[in-house]
């Protein structure tokens, strides 16, 4: 008998949850009021043997893949069969970035980078809550992209951005304008600037419409000019939240920016999905702060 609340999604974890690259995701799953971990297994074989002793029937299984050949094709196929009418997602770490080019153990529909996992899982939680179907493992890549970008699955609007102003900083003028256009679609007014050079006198600055609340700084290519511009942006807009944008957030860039006080890094390869997720988290954080300040 399942004694757990019906509005909580029961989750099974498979893999090395203690590894550093998964720590943020696992912490988020454990602290999320919409999820409850009802089982954790070290590998797929162990999970298949212990499925019948789970604390509750799972609605979602999250596999943490640390390296490319960690799980065999046979075990993956058996797990897909066991979870065919539930949700299954393999979240792969930075050492598995090339799997889509030279390995096909996991279907594209069930495979996602750990840096995007929270946003994808959050969307699936919303689909479960609204009675939506799970994603079929047979979907092609373009269908997977459309599924994950389906804004109708996004339960929260981005109301609140209309009160803010953003600044987009990048050496690429076309990219700056593209980001500004995307932000405008979400309701955020923004200005765009080239890299801020050290030759310029850096002082705190506001636009004619008010202070800058959000800074979106291109981190590519990472080097001295980008690093100096990032530090200058912090001085120019001292009260802003700074979001980095990088092609490969896990390929060494996280080590380089550890002292740069960046609040989050959005991947260029899945920019709109990552952008929407981080903006939603930011707005929710602001709402919680206002609630606490009133209480």
2 part of a folded domain: no
Q: What is the DSSP string of 76-134?
A: HHHHHHHTTTSEEEEEE-GGGTTHHHH--SS-GGGEEEHHHHHHHHHHHHHHHHTTPPP
- The residue that leads in pLDDT, 106 or 291, is 106
Residues 233 and 126 in one domain: no
Which of 104, 126, 153 lies at the terminal end of a domain, its last residue? 153
Q: What is the DSSP string of 189-245?
A: EEEEE----TTSPP----BTTB---EEEEE--S-SHHHHHHHHHHHHHSTTSEEEEE
Q: Residue 95: give its domain's CATH number.
A: 3.40.50.2300
Q: What is the mean pLDDT of residues 121-150?
A: 83
Residues 184 and 149 in one domain: no
- The residue that leads in pLDDT, 271 or 71, is 71
- Domain containing 215 equals 161-294
Residues 149 and 21 in one domain: yes
Q: What is the Cβ-side half-sphere exposure of residue 156, based on CA atoms within 13 angstroms? A: 18
147 part of a folded domain: yes
Which of 153, 179, 212 lies at the terminal end of a domain, its last residue? 153
Query: pLDDT-based confidence at 250, cuts 50/70/90?
Result: low
Question: What is the pLDDT at residue 292?
Answer: 66
Cα(4)–Cα(208) distance, integer angstroms:
53
Residues 136 and 166 in one domain: no
**pLDDT, tens digit (0-9, with 9 covering 90-100), for 203-213:** 778 777 789 99
Residues 112 and 184 in one domain: no
Question: What is the pLDDT at residue 2?
Answer: 44
35-49, 113-127, 145-159, 172-186: the lowest-pLDDT one: 145-159
Cα(118)–Cα(101) distance, integer angstroms:
23
Residues 135 and 183 in one domain: no
2-11, 31-40, 78-87, 123-132: the lowest-pLDDT one: 2-11
Residues 147 and 16 in one domain: yes
Q: Can you tell me whether residue 295 is helix, strand or coil?
A: coil
**pLDDT, tens digit (0-9, with 9 covering 90-100), for 157-169:** 577 888 899 999 9
**pLDDT, tens digit (0-9, with 9 covering 90-100), for 12-39:** 999 999 998 899 899 999 999 999 999 9
Which of 113, 137, 153 lies at the terminal end of a domain, its last residue? 153
Question: What is the pLDDT at residue 178?
Answer: 92
4 part of a folded domain: no
| Total domains present in the chain | 2
Question: What is the pLDDT at residue 156?
Answer: 47
3 part of a folded domain: no
The distance of Cα 65 from the centroid of its chain, to the nearest Å, equals: 16
287 part of a folded domain: yes
Query: pLDDT-based confidence at 150, cuts 50/70/90?
Result: low
Query: pLDDT-based confidence at 3, cuts 50/70/90?
Result: very low
Question: What is the pLDDT at residue 40?
Answer: 96
Residues 146 and 178 in one domain: no
Question: What is the pLDDT at residue 130?
Answer: 85
Residues 178 and 247 in one domain: yes
257 part of a folded domain: yes
Residues 191 and 262 in one domain: yes
Residues 212 and 149 in one domain: no
Residues 13 and 148 in one domain: yes
Residue 79 has pLDDT above 50, yes or no: yes
- The residue that leads in pLDDT, 237 or 276, is 237
Provide the mean pLDDT of the chain: 85
Residue 155 has pLDDT above 50, yes or no: no
Q: What is the Cβ-side half-sphere exposure of residue 147, based on CA atoms within 13 angstroms? A: 21
Q: Which two tokens stand for residue 142?
A: 């373009």
Q: What is the mean pLDDT of residues 34-54?
A: 94
């Amino acid at each position: 008998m399942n004694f757990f609340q019906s509005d909580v999604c029961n989750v099974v974890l498979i893999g090395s949850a203690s590894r550093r690259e998964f720590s943020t995701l696992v912490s988020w799953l454990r602290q999320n009021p919409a999820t409850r971990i009802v089982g954790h297994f070290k590998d797929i074989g162990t999970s298949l043997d212990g499925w019948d002793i789970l604390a509750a029937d799972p609605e979602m299984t999250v596999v943490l893949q640390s390296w490319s050949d960690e799980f065999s094709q046979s075990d993956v196929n058996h797990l897909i069969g066991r979870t065919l009418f539930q949700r299954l997602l393999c979240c792969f770490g930075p050492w598995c970035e090339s799997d889509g080019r030279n390995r096909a153990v996991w279907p594209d529909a069930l495979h996602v980078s750990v840096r995007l996992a929270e946003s994808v899982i959050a969307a699936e939680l919303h689909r479960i809550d609204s009675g939506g179907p799970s994603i079929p493992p047979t979907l092609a890549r373009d269908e997977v992209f459309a599924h994950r970008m389906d804004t109708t699955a996004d339960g929260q609007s981005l109301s609140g951005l209309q009160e803010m102003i953003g600044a987009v900083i990048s050496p690429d003028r076309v990219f700056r304008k593209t980001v500004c256009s995307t932000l405008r679609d979400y309701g955020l007014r923004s200005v765009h600037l080239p890299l801020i050079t050290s030759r310029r006198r850096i002082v705190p600055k506001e636009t004619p419409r008010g202070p800058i609340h959000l800074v979106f700084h291109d981190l590519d290519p990472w080097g001295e000019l980008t690093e100096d511009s990032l530090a200058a942006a912090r001085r120019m807009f001292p009260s802003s939240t700074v979001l980095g944008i990088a092609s490969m957030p896990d390929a060494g860039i996280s080590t380089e920016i550890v002292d740069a006080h960046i609040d989050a890094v959005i991947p260029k390869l899945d920019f709109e999905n990552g952008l929407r997720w981080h903006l939603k988290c930011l707005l929710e954080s602001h709402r919680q702060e206002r609630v606490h300040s009133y209480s």
